Structures are given as C-alpha cells and as structure tokens.
Amino acid sequence: MIEILKTGMYDSIQDFGRMGYQEFGVPMSGVMDRYSATLANSILGNPSHTAVLESTIVGPHLKFNHETAICISGADMNAKLNDLELRTNAVYRVKQGDVLKLGKCNYGCRGYLAVLGGFQTEEQIGSLSMYKGITANYRLVKGDVLPILKTNNYAGNSFSSIKIDKNHFEDYELEVFNGPEFDKLDDNQQQKLFNTAFSISKDSNRMAYQFNEPLENSLQPIITSLVLPGTIQLTPSGQLMVLMRDCQTTGGYPRVLQLTENAINRLSQRVFGSKITFKCKK
C-alpha cells in the first residue's frame, strides 16, 4: 500500500487508457506522456502500459507501507526519499515506512511514478485510468491508500540511470498532420497556423490545451464528427483547442490540425506560458 500524505496540483492513476469503448462515448484517457510513462515502467521491468501515478507541476508526498522498488520519469520534481535526493530514470529500493516527497518541477510538467508490478487500484472498463463518472474518484486526495503488488522481486542494477532526450522537454516544434478541415482555411490562416509562436494558456488540462493567441476564424461549425487525442479544433471565437487524453469522442468544431503521438507526449510536458510552433509532418 502507498498512502497519500499530501496531494500535488493534480495527481491521478493512469495506464494506457480505454480502447474499444469510444462507441459508447467513453474517452480514451491514459497517461498524458506515454514516452515518459513507458520509460519509468521499462526501467523497472514492468510492461509499458502498467498503471503509474501521474502528477502535474507539483507532485504529492507519499508513504510506503511495504517494500518495493520505484522509478520516476518525465518531469524532474526534485524527488526526495526520506532525505535522499533521487534522480529521474533510476531504480530505487523502498522500505516499509519510507516517505517520498515530490516537489515542484525543475523541467517538464508531468512526472510519472512507477512501482514494481504497478498500482492495483480499481479497474473500470478495462483500465485503471481515473475519469469522472467512470472510476469512483477522478483524482487522488489526501489519505487515499493505493494498493500495490507485494513484491520486491527486482533483479536489476539499482545504480544505473538513463540519459534522456532533452528535446522531449525543450523542443518547441510540434509535428502535425493537416486536419480534415484544414483545406477550408484561407491561405492567410494556414500560414498563420505555421508561422505563429503559440503560448500555452493556463486553461489547459488533461482534456484540452488552449493557447493565448487566437486565430481569425470564419469557418462554420461542422456536423458533429469524430475526434482523437491530439485533434486541434478551431472554435467560433478563434480559440485553438488541442484535445488531450481525456477528450470527448466527438466534436462539432472544425479540425484544423492533428498532433502526432510524439507531439502529444511533448505538449504534455510543456507548462503554461511556454511557446510552441507547429511543423507539418512529412
């Protein structure tokens, strides 16, 4: 068991989400940054889709009620195990009673805590990913006790750590495909989409990211159609809305761009105020 002593800004349990239920209107959900969650799990020897704890900007404080091994990937949240400063992307053994404190991000936006064998919280519709109306809770709160596998069966080397690609956290170019309604934009709007440095608005969350810079919009709404995480919609007021992992399954705004999988992962690691540009995927 792991107990939440203090919550971060937004903590939830996530795996790779729910596939195959979108015909019932069920969002896919899942970790925002699959690259980092996969890294944390792989280093521990877990399958890449194993459930992890995702935290945002400021991480939680946790207490371990039995021994296990952990790995933290994604944003560097100045993790401390008791008094020991932890590196990201390295395995640490944890004893009963140890306290892990995750703080404010040094870089990145989302941190991933993987435990040996994975979290064992409530499964609904084939996934542990928390979502309002599907799981009992949609985010972690103080006092929550999270079941984990009782194992300390980690055979790897606890001292190695992996160098990660800094571009994943710093590069401001995001690769996109043209969306189904891209061709309906005029030349000027199309150019603006690719020439503007957009800054991330504070109204950004697991459902959608928004930007502070509007784009002039003369497009009519479309007949409600299908969307995916990574779909960029243009609202009547000219707001660009980048749908993220918790997005709805359908939408009625024109879909002007579609982020690549890698771009969704990277955008998930950008904090409010940081700038990004779009680049067409060849």
Partner 1 sequence: MNFELIYRRFSERSILVEWPQEIDEYILKDVLLFKNSLLDLDDKLILQINTAYNSLLIIYQSTIDNVNDEILTLKSHYINRKVVKKPITTLFKIPVCYDEEFGLDLIAISEEKKMPIPEIIKRHSQPVYTVFFIGFLPGFLYLGGLGEQLHFPRKKSPRLQIKKGAVAIGGSQTGIYPNESPGGWNVIGNSPVELFLPKKKEPCFAKAGDKIQFVPVSKTVYDSIVLQIKQDKYSIESEVIDD
Q: Report in angstroms the alpha-carbon separations of 219 from 75, 241, 254, 261, 278.
A: 38, 15, 7, 26, 20
Measured CA to CA, the distance from residue 102 to residue 100 in angstroms comes to 7
Which tokens belong to 97? 């009673």
**CB of 234 closer than 8 Å to CB of 217:** yes
Measured CA to CA, the distance from residue 225 to residue 253 in angstroms comes to 9
Question: Which region among 43-51, 100-108, 242-250, 272-280 touches partner 1 (by CB under 8 A)?
Answer: 242-250
| Shortest Cβ 100–partner 1 spacing (Å) | 31
Among residues 5, 57, 219, 228, the one that binds partner 1 under rule CB under 8 A: 228
Which tokens belong to 15? 């795996």
Residue number with CB closer to partner 1 (180 or 238): 180
Residue number with CB closer to partner 1 (32 or 91): 32
Among residues 151, 191, 218, 224, the one that binds partner 1 under rule CB under 8 A: 224
Asked if residue 274 binds partner 1 (CB under 8 A), the reply is no
Asked if residue 21 binds partner 1 (CB under 8 A), the reply is yes
Residue number with CB closer to partner 1 (24 or 159): 24
Unique residue bearing structure tokens 């950004």: 204
Which tokens belong to 84? 């020991």
Asked if residue 225 binds partner 1 (CB under 8 A), the reply is yes
Asked if residue 172 binds partner 1 (CB under 8 A), the reply is no
Question: Which region among 36-44, 76-84, 192-200, 243-251 touches partner 1 (by CB under 8 A)?
Answer: 243-251
Binding mask 117-156 for partner 1 (x = CB under 8 A): -------xx-------xxx---------------------
| Shortest Cβ 221–partner 1 spacing (Å) | 11
Asked if residue 205 binds partner 1 (CB under 8 A), the reply is no
Could you tell me the end-to-end alpha-carbon distance of the chain, in angstroms, rounded to an integer? 47
Binding footprint of partner 1, residue count (CB under 8 A): 29
Measured CA to CA, the distance from residue 40 to residue 75 in angstroms comes to 11
Task: Provide the binding-site residues for partner 1, judged by CB under 8 A.
Answer: 19-27, 124-125, 133-135, 177, 180, 222-226, 228, 230, 248-250, 258, 260-261
